[in-house]
């Protein structure tokens, strides 16, 4: 298990360095968002090559991981294409000048690689496990599928709202029941991966969905976004009062 993680760490580090080199050329680190989901695919493929074991579980998880990664990478790449550096990274850049272009290697790219390694624990557990296919696997895979669909619909609705250049707040569709349905979909996906990995016996993998939940709620997701959005979106304060932050729920009247 340790040998596998060492090999995964090596490939993720190389991928992070490649992303960093691109940032030196473009003077923009936003593409790390598009790299995020690919880190997991690189790690999973590495684990499967090391073990060379095919099961129903790891094949199904690989298929769903590819769908999740391809969709998320494509969505973020098209959204960010031709745009200036994301405001999140502009703030990080200002705080870490001078020489941010060098510091960004570990502040942005290697940091993302390390996070991906930790969050990958249930994926690696599935990739190397030979446990029998059972009810928990079916439940976990079903949650992953639902989470991908839910996140996809939420992102589509947001894209249409932005494309129409509408003012105010998106409070229709899935966004009527949650202020961040895309994050809720991501939450479901990672808890689904953990449920599939449960039969492998690597119970330490529970840190993966817990960490992802914290990231979504506090670190890079809802907490960071909602600290400024009220000042940029008229009516958002009312939306906050009426709409669940994360878990879908009927809005307050």
Q: How many CB atoms sit inside 10 A of residue 162's CB? A: 11
Cα(140)–Cα(195) distance, integer angstroms:
5
Kindly indicate the confidence band of residue 223, based on its pLDDT and cuts at 50, 70 and 90.
confident
Kindly indicate the confidence band of residue 218, based on its pLDDT and cuts at 50, 70 and 90.
confident
The 10s digit of each residue's pLDDT in 109-125 is 999 999 999 999 999 99
Q: Tell me the pLDDT of the chain averaged across its residues.
A: 92
Of 144, 141, 119, the closest CA to residue 8 belongs to 119
For 1-59, the three-class secondary structure string (H helix, E strand, C coil) is CHHHHHHHHHHHHHHHHHHHHHHHHHCCCCCHHHHHHHHHHHHHHHHHHHHCCCCHHHH
CB 116 within 8 A of CB 43: yes
Cα(36)–Cα(190) distance, integer angstroms:
14
Cα(136)–Cα(105) distance, integer angstroms:
39
Of 150, 147, 170, the closest CA to residue 160 belongs to 170
Kindly indicate the confidence band of residue 88, based on its pLDDT and cuts at 50, 70 and 90.
confident
Q: What are phi and psi of 245, to 5 degrees?
A: -70, -40
* pLDDT of 30 higher than 90: yes
The 10s digit of each residue's pLDDT in 55-74 is 999 999 999 999 999 999 99
The 10s digit of each residue's pLDDT in 178-199 is 999 999 999 999 999 999 999 8
pLDDT of res. 146: 98
The 10s digit of each residue's pLDDT in 149-161 is 999 999 999 999 9
Kindly indicate the confidence band of residue 230, based on its pLDDT and cuts at 50, 70 and 90.
low
């Amino acid at each position: 298990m340790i040998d596998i993680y060492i090999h995964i760490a090596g490939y993720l580090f190389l991928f992070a360095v490649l992303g960093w080199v691109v940032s030196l050329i473009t003077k923009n680190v936003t593409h790390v968002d598009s790299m995020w989901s690919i880190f997991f695919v690189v790690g999973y493929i590495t684990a499967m090559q090391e073990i060379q074991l095919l099961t129903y579980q790891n094949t199904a998880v690989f298929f769903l991981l590819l769908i999740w990664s391809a969709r998320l990478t494509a969505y973020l790449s098209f959204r960010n294409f031709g745009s200036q550096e994301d405001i999140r990274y502009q703030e990080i850049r200002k705080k870490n000048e001078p020489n941010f272009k060098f510091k960004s290697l570990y502040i942005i790219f290697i940091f993302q690689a390390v996070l991906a390694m930790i969050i990958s624990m249930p994926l690696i557990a599935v990739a190397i496990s030979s446990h029998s296919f059972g009810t928990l696997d079916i439940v976990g895979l079903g949650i992953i599928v639902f989470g991908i669909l839910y996140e996809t619909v939420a992102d589509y609705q947001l894209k249409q709202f932005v494309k129409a250049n509408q003012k105010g707040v998106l409070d229709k569709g899935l966004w009527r029941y949650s202020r961040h349905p895309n994050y809720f979909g991501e939450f479901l996906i990672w808890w689904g991966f953990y449920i599939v990995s449960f039969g492998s016996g690597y119970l330490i993998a529970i840190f993966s969905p817990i960490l992802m939940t914290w990231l979504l709620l506090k670190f890079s997701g809802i907490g960071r976004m909602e600290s400024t959005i009220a000042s940029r979106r008229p009516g958002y304060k009312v939306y906050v009062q009426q709409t669940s932050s994360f878990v879908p729920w009927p809005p307050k009247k």
